[in-house]
Amino acid sequence: MKKFQFRAAKILDWRRRQHELALAELSHQQQLRESAAAAAADADRAVDHAQLDYRARLVEGGDSDTFERHRNWIVGQRVGAESCRRRLAERQIEVERAAADVRRTHRQVLVLENLRDRSWADYQVEARRLEAIDMDQLAVTQFARRM
């Protein structure tokens, strides 16, 4: 009997490479999300710091131009923080897409691996059947020689 060869072996290898690439992309997207989360946290801290600084200036007193500059500065900080939160939400969506790709590619690999395993089991059954036929023929030949 000829050697076992899974006909879709190259496709299985290709699917595994796709899965590895999907895992690498997921890791990359998670790193981007973490950096976006850190930027959003920094922006929120900057807004809090700006508000505390504004309150301190109010307590100290001063002219209205200084207070207006601080209010404008705080608004700018809030706009920046909102922008960071939007980027974080976008990164989260990208992480979810990458995770879905990982799940999809993993399923594709599993399907081909299950197909390979079934094909291997069928091959083994056929090999045992042919071996049994050969053994039967050998037994018949030896019996015939004795007669």
Q: What is the pLDDT of residues 7-38, one digit of tens each?
A: 999 999 999 999 999 999 999 999 999 999 99
Average pLDDT, the chain: 94
Q: How far is CA 27 from CA 13, 135, 144, in A?
A: 21, 56, 70
The domains found in the chain, sorted by start residue, are: 9-146 (1.10.287.1700)
Q: Is the pLDDT of residue 114 over 80?
A: yes
Q: In which band, very low, low, confident or very high, does the pLDDT at 112 lie, cut at 50, 70 and 90?
A: very high
Q: Note whether 108 and 39 are within 8 A (CB).
A: no
Residue with tokens 């879709």: 8
Question: Full-prediction pTM beyond 0.85?
Answer: no
**8 A C-beta contact, residue 44 and residue 81:** yes
**pLDDT beyond 80 at 142:** yes
pLDDT (mean) for 30-50:
96
The predicted model gives 139-145 an average pLDDT of 86
Q: Is the pLDDT of residue 128 over 90?
A: yes
- What is the distance between the alpha carbons of residues 46 and 117, in angstroms, rounded to a whole number? 58
State mean pLDDT over 112-140: 94
Please give the Cα distance from 121 to 113 (Å, whole number): 12
Question: Quick check: 147 pLDDT over 80?
Answer: no
Closest CA to 34 of 107, 110, 87: 87
115 vs 54 pLDDT, higher one? 115
